[in-house]
Amino acid sequence: MSWHALLGNPMNLTRQDVEKIAHLARLSITAQEMPVYVTSLSSIVNFVDELSRAQTGDVLPMAHPLDGQHQRLRADVVSESDHHEKYQANAPAVQAGLYVVPRVIE
């Protein structure tokens, strides 16, 4: 196996695939950008498809680099106080202490 082996079957994404992904990720993609993403995402997917050649059988997936560590637990203590004015200084739109967004429809 060599570093530059980009084998495997070409997995070309379609424009519809990319539109669906962009929607899931809430990213607007302009019509001009679209072909570039279709091409580059296809080449990335083809590249990572090399993983399918690895024999992984019953290998346990590894989510953390330091295996065997456990989650530490924090004592149930209120340690935070109100700083909403400072925190909301970065907000694009605030009214009466609330973050304002276009109407949420349920």
Give least dist CB 38 to other proteins, A. 10
Centre a 10 Å sphere on the Cβ of residue 13 and count the other Cβ atoms it contains. 19
Nearest-Å Rg of the Cα atoms of the chain is 23
31 is a site residue for other proteins (CB under 8 A): no
92 is a site residue for other proteins (CB under 8 A): yes
Using CB under 8 A, which residues numbered 38 to 77 contact other proteins? 40-41, 43-45, 47-52, 54, 56, 59-67, 69-77
9 is a site residue for other proteins (CB under 8 A): no
The answer to whether the beta carbons of residues 100 and 94 sit under 8 Å apart is: yes
Work out the angle between the directed axes of helices 33-48 and 15-24 (0-180°, nearest 10): 90
Give least dist CB 77 to other proteins, A. 6
